[in-house]
């Protein structure tokens, strides 16, 4: 990600609680902005990476949240 000048805002790491050993690890990387498809394809070429996806979660609208209360 650094090679592509993508800033990591947050990084979370976990693993499955059940299943055969060795258990799979999973990481969630939150970045500032959107990630280009070319970078996702580059991540998928890393041997240790079994799956890479970009998921866009829109930020909540503060005005709508205030109106709902």
Averaged pLDDT for residues 32-47: 94
In the three-class reduction of DSSP (H, G, I as helix; E, B as strand; rest coil), residue 2 is classed as: helix
Alpha-carbon torsion (25, 43, 9, 3), positive or negative: positive
Output the pLDDT for position 67. Answer: 72
Averaged pLDDT for residues 14-25: 79
Give the separation between CA 30 and CA 6, rounded to whole angstroms.
Answer: 10
Give the separation between CA 34 and CA 27, rounded to whole angstroms.
Answer: 17
Question: What tokens were used for 50?
Answer: 């079994």
pTM for the predicted model, two decimal places: 0.69
């Amino acid at each position: 990600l650094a090679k592509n000048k993508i800033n990591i805002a947050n990084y979370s790491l976990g693993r499955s609680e059940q299943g055969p050993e060795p258990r799979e690890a999973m990481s969630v990387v939150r970045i500032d902005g959107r990630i280009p498809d070319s970078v996702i394809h580059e991540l998928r070429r890393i041997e240790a990476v079994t799956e890479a996806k970009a998921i866009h979660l829109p930020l909540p609208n503060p005005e709508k949240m205030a109106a709902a209360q």
